[in-house]
Amino acid sequence: MILTAIGLAAACVLWNAERSVENLKLAVAAFCFSIATLLLALGDPERATVLALVIVAAIHGASALKYAHSGLKLTVTDLPLLLAGTVPFFFVQYPLAVTAALTGLLGLIAVAVAALLYLPGTPIPFAAQLAFFGLTVFGLALAHRMGGGAVALQRIAAQPRCFYSAFVASLLDPRSWRQFGGFVLSDIADEPLPLLPATPAKRPTSPDIIIIQHESIFDPRLYGLPVGPLIEEFLSPQHGLHGRLNVDIFGGGSWQSEFSLLTGLSSASFGSNGYFLFERGAGCFHHSLPKTLAALGYTTTLTSSCRRGFLNYDNFYREIGMRERIFTDDLPAPFDVDEFEATNSDSEFLQAALGVHANAIEQGSGPRFLYMLTNYNHGPHSRRLVAAGQYETQRAFAMACLSDATYAEYYARLVETADTWRKLKANLIARFPDRPMLVIHYGDHQPVMTRRIQSRLQLSPNERRQFQTFYAIEMLNDPAASMTTGQGPNLDIAFLGTVALQHAGLPLDPIFATRASLREQCGETYFASVSERKRRFHRTLVDLGLIDIGQPARGQ
C-alpha cells in the first residue's frame, strides 16, 4: 500500500516537472538512478523513493523560479551564480518570490525529515541494491544517449517544460563541467571560415554615432497593448528604421546585451560564463565595435548610469576599446549621484550624459562614438519612481489598457524617457545642425513584470516573445542620407553593431564584412541558429587570436 501511494506520487511529481513526454525517459531514468543511489545509503526503497522525489521537486522548483525571472531553465552551470551575488539581489528585488521559494524549501526538508524518521521501510539485500544501481546507471546512460544529450535539451531551453530532464542532461554533459574551470565557446566548428574582403565606405564623412541602451524597455505592442503618440514615435520614429530585437536574456543581466552589441557575439555561447563575461572576459576579446571605430578616427566614450566600481565595468570597457569611460560618480554638477540613485531617472541621466557629450564636441574635433547605459526602468515596478503629478494622464491611459499597477508604472517611466529623449534630440539637431549623427536606441531585455502582462491578458507562453525588445535607428542632421525608413527586419543584438556601421556608411573590415554575410542565414536569432558558417566563423576568430578562450582540441 505504501509503495503504491509513493508510486502514484512519483508519477505526479515527475509529470509536473516534465509536462512533456519528449524527455520523459531521461527523467524516469535519472529518478531511478537517484533511488538506487539513496538505496545504498538507506537500505529500503520506500524512504529512498520519497527522498528522490524531494530532489526532483527541489530541482523543479528552483528551475521554475529561474525560468520565471530569466526565461531559461536551471542547469548545473548556474550553480556558481549562487556565489556571484545573485542571492542578495533576489532578496532585494523579488522578496515575494524568495519567500515562496524558502517556504517551499522548508516544506521539502520537512517531508524528507519525516520520511527518514517515521516512514516504515522494507530492507533490501545489499547484492540486490548493487544490481539495481548498476541497472540504473546503464539505463541513465542509454536514455541520455537516445534523447540526444544536452544539445537536444538546449533547443528547448526557453520552453516551460522538461525542467528536471534539462538539469539532468546538463549534469551529464562534460562541457558543463569544463565551464567551471575556464572560458568555453559552445557553438564552434573544427574548421575555420575564410573571411570575406573588406568593403569600402559609402560616404565621404564619418557621422557621430550615439547608441543608447534603455534598461528593461520593450514595446508594449508586442503584447497587443496600444501606445500613445509619444511612445510610438520613440519606439518607431517616423524618419527612422525600427523593428524587434532578439536578445539573450530576460529579466536581468544587462551587461550580456552590452557584450553582444560590442563584440558581435552571443553571451549565450559562453554558457554560465555569460553572466561573468565582464569579469572573466576582460582582455579576452580583441575585435570589437569600439576598437574598430577608434581605428577609423573616432573618440570612443562610455557613459554609464552606474558608479565606476560596478561589476568590473571600467576594466572591461577599457580592454574592449572605450577610451573615455564616464560613470555617475564622474558626472559634473549640478548632477548629484546620491540624489540620482534614489530613482535612476532618465531625465537626469540623459541630460547630464548628453551635456558632457555636446561639450566635448565643441571642444574637440573628429567623429565621436557615445554609448550610454540607462537604468531607469529596472524593476521592481511595484515602486513608484515617477514624481507625483507627472505623466498622470499617460499612467491612466496605461491602466485603462491593462488594469495592472506595475504596468502603469512601467509605462509612466517609459513616457518620461521618451519625453526626455524628444527634447534632447531636438536640442542636438538645433545645436549641431551641420553635424550628422546616427542614433540607435534599443531595449536590453524585458522586465520580469511582462509575466504579469502575459497572465492578465491570458496569453499563451511564447519562448521567442520573452526575448524580444526593440531597436530604432535615425540619422540626424543629414537630409541627404539614404537610410531606409519604416519597419525594418527583426534583428539579433549580435548583429546590431554591424548594422550601425552599415547605416553610418563606414567601411567594414573582413571580420565585420563576414559577420554581415551571416545575417541572412542566421535570421533574427544568432545563438539559436544552427548555421555551420557561424560556427566556422567562431573558429576563425579563435584561430586568429581575436578571442582568448580555453578551447578543447578539435574533434572533441
* Three-state DSSP string of 159-209: CCCCHHHHHHHHHHCHHHHHHHHCCCCCCCCCCCCCCCCCECCCCCCCCEE
Which of 466, 487, 508 lies at the terminal end of a domain, its last residue?
Answer: 487
Same domain, 435 and 317: yes
Cα–Cα distance measured from residue 493 to residue 88, given in angstroms and rounded to the nearest whole number: 29
Cα–Cα distance measured from residue 175 to residue 183, given in angstroms and rounded to the nearest whole number: 11
Same domain, 259 and 367: yes
Same domain, 152 and 265: no
Could you tell me if residue 513 is inside a domain? no
Same domain, 100 and 65: yes
Same domain, 402 and 333: yes
- pLDDT (0 to 100) of residue 97: 72
Cα–Cα distance measured from residue 215 to residue 324, given in angstroms and rounded to the nearest whole number: 21
- pLDDT (0 to 100) of residue 32: 94
Long-range interactions of 62-65: CB distance < 8 A, separation 24+: 62/101, 63/163, 63/164, 63/166, 63/167, 64/160, 64/163, 65/97, 65/101
Measured at the alpha carbon of residue 321, what is the angle toward residues 334 and 181, in degrees to the nearest 5?
110
- Do the beta carbons of residue 208 and residue 66 sit within 8 Å? no
- pLDDT (0 to 100) of residue 82: 61
Could you tell me if residue 44 is inside a domain? yes
Give the domain extent around 381. 208-229+244-487
By CB neighbour count within 10 A (0-12 exposed, 13-18 middle, 19+ buried), where does 460 fall?
Answer: exposed
Which of 440, 457, 487 lies at the terminal end of a domain, its last residue?
Answer: 487
- Do the beta carbons of residue 376 and residue 215 sit within 8 Å? yes
Could you tell me if residue 529 is inside a domain? no
CATH no. for residue 329?
3.40.720.10
Same domain, 212 and 173: no
User: Could you give the dihedral angle defined by the CA atoms of residues 218, 185, 500 and 234, in that order, rounded to the nearest 10 degrees?
Assistant: 10
How high is the mean pLDDT in each 10-residue block of the chain (556 residues)? 81 90 90 94 92 93 83 76 57 69 89 90 91 94 82 73 88 69 80 98 94 97 97 96 96 94 94 83 95 98 95 95 97 95 96 96 92 95 93 97 97 98 96 96 95 93 91 91 86 98 97 97 92 96 91 40
Is the bond preceding 174 in cis, omega lying within 30 degrees of 0?
no
Could you tell me if residue 499 is inside a domain? no
- pLDDT (0 to 100) of residue 551: 45
Residue 320 is placed in which grid cell?
A: 574592449
Residue closest to 35 by CA, chosen among 18, 15, 63, 55: 55
Same domain, 261 and 406: yes
Same domain, 314 and 363: yes
Could you tell me if residue 323 is inside a domain? yes
Instruction: Name beta bridge partners: 302.
Output: 325, 371
Residue with cell 551529464: 172
Same domain, 160 and 218: no
Which of 452, 487, 522 lies at the terminal end of a domain, its last residue?
Answer: 487
Cα–Cα distance measured from residue 429 to residue 45, given in angstroms and rounded to the nearest whole number: 75
Instruction: Name beta bridge partners: 304.
Output: 373
- pLDDT (0 to 100) of residue 334: 94
Could you tell me if residue 220 is inside a domain? yes
Same domain, 170 and 257: no
Number of domains in the chain: 2
Same domain, 96 and 139: yes
Cα–Cα distance measured from residue 456 to residue 30, given in angstroms and rounded to the nearest whole number: 36
Could you tell me if residue 504 is inside a domain? no
Residue 199, Cβ neighbours under 10 Å: how many? 16
Could you tell me if residue 288 is inside a domain? yes
- pLDDT (0 to 100) of residue 554: 43
Instruction: Name beta bridge partners: 120.
Output: none
**Whole-prediction pTM:** 0.86
Same domain, 158 and 223: no
- pLDDT (0 to 100) of residue 156: 75
- pLDDT (0 to 100) of residue 232: 97
